[in-house]
Amino acid sequence: MTDPVPAPSVADRTGPVLVVDFGAQYAQLIARRVREAHVYSEIVPHTISPTELAERRPAGVILSGGPKSVHVEGAPEIDPGVYDLGIPVLGICYGAQLVAQQLGGTVANTGIGEYGRTELTVADRGVLFGSTMPDTQQVWMSHFDSISVAPEGFTVTASTNQTPVAAMEHVERRVHAVQFHPEVVHTPHGQQVLEHFLYDVCDAPPAWTMGSVIDAQVELIREQVGDARVICALSGGVDSAVAAALVHKAIGHQLTCVFVDTGLMRLGEGDQVVETFQKHQRIELIHVRAADEYFAKLSGVLDPEDKRKAIGELFIRIFEKTAGGIEDAAFLVQGTLYPDVIESGTATAAKIKSHHNVGGLPEDMQFELVEPLRSLFKDEVRKVGTELGLPDEIVWRQPFPGPGLGVRIIGEVTPEKVDLLQRADAIVREEIRSAGLEREIWQAFAVLPDIRSVGVMGDERTYGYPVIIRAVTSEDAMTADWARLPYDLLERMSNRIINEVDGINRVAYDVTSKPPGTIEWE
Ligand code: XMP
């Protein structure tokens, strides 16, 4: 390690805390925890060079955990030049071992790993453990190799039974490392450890709030679009709604929203979109009532893929026709979120203006994209929505597929079936809400299969449709589990649906997780 360079002053470190990704899910969680401490953070790939890193003027750098051992050939590394930039560094788990290895310490393959809850003994409070934390505390460990010897100049600040160097620091160089995971909830004092790094080592003020996000985006949107006209397709979903409200705050009447009412939305949803955006937010809104066109197009279409395709194509045609009538529209608002940006591997290219074709829109419709949410996680988008005055019904709306109820009606989609399903579905969601489960359940809805069965009501034989209730818990829709709804709640839903929706005489509950099922039925 060379002599420390003079550290850049706080005034020169006005950028985000950069979380270096070593290839697992850890980086996202760390970035979220940093943001929860009101410090803005972004994820960068470990291939970032010290020069590129310094250009971002980061308040600090966090090296995340990763799935590999530092001893494995091809294990991801960061250019050790980052330690000489004078920018504060915190290594976590794999990141801690990398700090040790790259700065001349020893990482040993002891054959004894630590997994799960582990007792940590703080020997020296140093900077990260502050003055209020207990000397022994529980931390979450997940490692196979251990740092056995800290690099020269480092003070060992904590250990465990199996790990002599569970935390270490070099205060002058502002390089810190912890073997445990401060970002997980199983490390009860973890957030405090992170906050000590952010506030006391990085000197980053806790100034990143949803209010500051809105102010910054308003400026950026104005700068990007000037006095041009901007359009936005509203779907009723939270992302497009918040994006539209944010752009509207920035440029007011320059924004026109297009809401294609397919007739395949949930009960009352179309009216609610119009009410919220036109009446309350006073956003210029073109409300295209296209239900008849959709039913005509879907007549006789039975195959799920054909249905999706038909619905998608019609949307594009209607949107194109409507947008074509808006003169000089040069920009299109997209509700892209940060996880999409990370997944597509373009995190560092976030500032590049895209001039490309979006969401299947025809080649000759060229828009520059306005993506005001591309640095935000979903829960942050919800907070921004609330701050912008959007109602809970929109901000906390559950995910809803683009093709709408079209993929929840098995077989041909007809106005009559949509009406039955909308009413049954409204009851399911109402009961979930009354039971206080709305935010716990990822999605809860009704499905209308293409069968009928015999029943009896008031001495009369019935021959009606069944409704299937689908309720799942999930983190990200990639996997899902069927929700263990209380029997009395299911009973209430069932009774109400059968009594209130004429034509439905049976209710079933879907107990399939994903995989092997999917959340939607088509
Ligand atoms: P599946 O059914 O594949 O759904 O388990 C995963 C998540 O995606 C939603 N979904 C869609 N969302 N357009 C969308 O915008 C679609 O075509 C679509 N299909 C499914 C679904 O509701 C669930 O949240």
Distance 490 CA to ligand 1 centre (A): 24
Q: What is the pLDDT of residue 361?
A: 58
Nearest protein Cα to ligand 1, atom 21:
401
Lowest mean pLDDT segment, chosen from 3-7, 200-204, 319-323, 446-450: 3-7
Looking at this protein, which amino acid is placed at residue 455? Answer: G
- pLDDT tens by residue, 16-68: 999 999 987 789 999 999 999 999 999 999 999 999 999 999 999 999 998 88
Q: Which of 89, 87, 91 is nearest to 13 (CA)?
A: 87
End position of a domain, from candidates 201, 223, 250: 201
Point out which residues pair with 332 in neighbouring strands: 231, 369
Q: CA angle at residue 443 from 434 to 347, to 5 degrees?
A: 130
- 426: domain CATH number is 3.30.300.10
Q: What is the mean pLDDT of residues 141-151?
A: 93
Q: What is the pTM of this model?
A: 0.85
- 58: domain CATH number is 3.40.50.880
Q: In terms of domains, do 283 and 418 share one?
A: no
Q: What is the pLDDT of residue 350?
A: 30
Q: What is the pLDDT of residue 362?
A: 59
Task: Tell me whether strands 15-21 and 58-63 are parallel, antiparallel or unpaired.
Answer: parallel
pLDDT grade for 348, boundaries at 50, 70 and 90: very low
Q: In terms of domains, do 324 and 353 share one?
A: yes
Q: What is the pLDDT of residue 86?
A: 94
Q: In terms of domains, do 261 and 338 share one?
A: yes
Q: In terms of domains, do 111 and 186 share one?
A: yes
- Between the alpha carbon of residue 388 and those of residues 197, 218, 275, 495, the distances in Å are 32, 12, 16, 39
Residue with tokens 């405090």: 192
Q: What is the mean pLDDT of residues 507-520?
A: 96
Q: Domain for residue 400, yes or no? A: no
Q: Give the residue numbers spanning the domain of 451.
A: 414-509
Q: What is the pLDDT of residue 110?
A: 79
Q: In terms of domains, do 61 and 97 share one?
A: yes
Q: What is the mean pLDDT of residues 362-384?
A: 88
pLDDT grade for 11, boundaries at 50, 70 and 90: confident
Q: Domain for residue 349, yes or no? A: yes
H-helix or E-strand spanning residue 420: helix 415-434
Relative to the CA of 399, which ligand 1 atom is closest?
24
Q: In terms of domains, do 298 and 384 share one?
A: yes
Q: Domain for residue 1, yes or no? A: no
In the predicted structure, residue 277 carries a pLDDT above the cut 50: yes
Nearest protein Cα to ligand 1, atom 4:
519
Q: In terms of domains, do 54 and 179 share one?
A: yes
In the predicted structure, residue 519 carries a pLDDT above the cut 80: yes
pLDDT grade for 358, boundaries at 50, 70 and 90: very low
Q: Out of 42, 114, 169, 183, which one is annotated catalytic?
A: 183
Distance 508 CA to ligand 1 centre (A): 21
Q: What is the mean pLDDT of residues 134-158?
A: 95
- pLDDT tens by residue, 452-509: 999 998 889 999 999 999 999 998 888 899 999 999 999 999 999 999 999 999 999 9
257 labelled catalytic: no
Q: What is the mean pLDDT of residues 416-442?
A: 97
Q: What is the pLDDT of residue 5?
A: 60
Q: In terms of domains, do 42 and 168 share one?
A: yes
Q: What is the pLDDT of residue 347?
A: 40
End position of a domain, from candidates 363, 395, 427: 395
Structural domain count of the chain: 3
Q: Out of 170, 176, 181, 248, which one is annotated catalytic?
A: 181
232 labelled catalytic: no
Burial of 424 (0-12, 13-18, 19+ CB in 10 A): buried
Q: In terms of domains, do 271 and 374 share one?
A: yes
- Between the alpha carbon of residue 512 and those of residues 132, 401, 468, 484, the distances in Å are 47, 19, 12, 11
End position of a domain, from candidates 364, 395, 426: 395
In the predicted structure, residue 200 carries a pLDDT above the cut 70: yes
Distance of CA 507 to the CA centre of its chain: 33
